[in-house]
Amino acid sequence: MAYNLLKGKKGIIFGALNSQSIAWKVAERAHAEGAQMVLTNTPIAIRMGELDELAESTGSLMIPADATSVKDLENLFAKTMEAFDGKIDFVLHSIGMSPNVRKKIPYDDLNYEYFSKTLDISAMSFHKMIQTAKKMDALNEWGSIVGLSYIAAQRTLYEYNDMADAKAVLESIARSFGYIYGREKHVRINTISQSPTPTTAGQGVKGFNALIDFTERMSPLGNATGDECADYCVTLFSDLTKKVTMQNLFHDGGFSSMGMSERAMTQYNKSLECKNCQDNPLNVE
């Protein structure tokens, strides 16, 4: 059901790669709520991915930008304002990538060149994007910026690797810049800490299947899906949340407040009963 929550609003969506992407679902939902959008991703992702399909179904423009390049970001904001004939109301940062994760390099043997790349792509790009928008005065007063995060910023989760550090930086940027942009232009900046979600980036994390099963069993409301994340993003872009800023907002079915659940305990007990079983679920890699 649509509520016209974003009628007349204009936004930029970073990070839609394919129909599984959280950003893809946000773009579809924002379109249904009446928003006009520019979709952006790296030039290679635009060439190799399916973004033109989304651009067509949502009537959006596509402008390539590597989010680590300030030059690309300047071009993106300039072209977007030109196309909209005005400023922007909302921005979604839905970007994450770790070469260490991709190459299965463990956290106690990190390649530091890759680590820098992880931080640049997954966290510093958030700062670059916000700083560029502010310098160009590209956002309307009471605009909204949302970045996507994960609970590994606060808690250690096996195999999340250097992405955990990137998420901690991302969430900190939302607070540090949220103060400045809020004070000067009433622009709000928040991060949403989303449940594990089966996307290209999500499934790249080792042990993803076991993780998503664990969080499903631990969360009283179950894992939050990508579509539900899109619903939440739309509320943060809307005028209904004008005084929410500098927050990391958990969207995880209650997982972040749990210690142990009955469903997880039942599964854990099964594995204890059958220590050497082939189908021991804790052997899932």
By the criterion CB under 6 A, which residues form the site for ligand NAD? 14-15, 17, 21-23, 41-42, 45, 66-68, 94-97, 121, 148-150, 194, 196-197, 199-202
Query: Whose structure tokens read 């992405």?
Result: 163
Nearest approach in angstroms of CB 156 to ligand NAD is 15
- In terms of CB distance, is 94 or 190 closer to ligand NAD? 94
Q: How far apart are the first and last CA of the chain?
A: 39
3-class secondary-structure state, position 275? coil
The residue with its CB nearest to ligand NAD is: 202
- In terms of CB distance, is 147 or 178 closer to ligand NAD? 147
d(CA 207, CA 158): 8
d(CA 251, CA 150): 9
Tokens of 235: 């509320």
* Cα-based distances in Å from 54 to 29, 42, 49, 171, 229: 12, 15, 10, 28, 18
Nearest approach in angstroms of CB 261 to ligand NAD is 20
Nearest approach in angstroms of CB 251 to ligand NAD is 9
Nearest approach in angstroms of CB 241 to ligand NAD is 19
- In terms of CB distance, is 102 or 242 closer to ligand NAD? 102
d(CA 155, CA 140): 35
Which amino acid is located at 232 in the chain? Y
d(CA 28, CA 42): 20
- In terms of CB distance, is 6 or 153 closer to ligand NAD? 153
- In terms of CB distance, is 36 or 161 closer to ligand NAD? 161
- In terms of CB distance, is 65 or 139 closer to ligand NAD? 65
Nearest approach in angstroms of CB 197 to ligand NAD is 4
- In terms of CB distance, is 86 or 198 closer to ligand NAD? 198
Nearest approach in angstroms of CB 69 to ligand NAD is 8
Q: DSSP E strands: which ranges in the chain?
A: 10-14, 36-40, 61-62, 88-93, 139-149, 188-194, 248-251
Nearest approach in angstroms of CB 282 to ligand NAD is 20
Which amino acid is located at 129 in the chain? M
Determine whether 273 is exposed, middle or buried from the number of CB atoms within 10 Å of its CB (0-12, 13-18, 19+). Answer: exposed
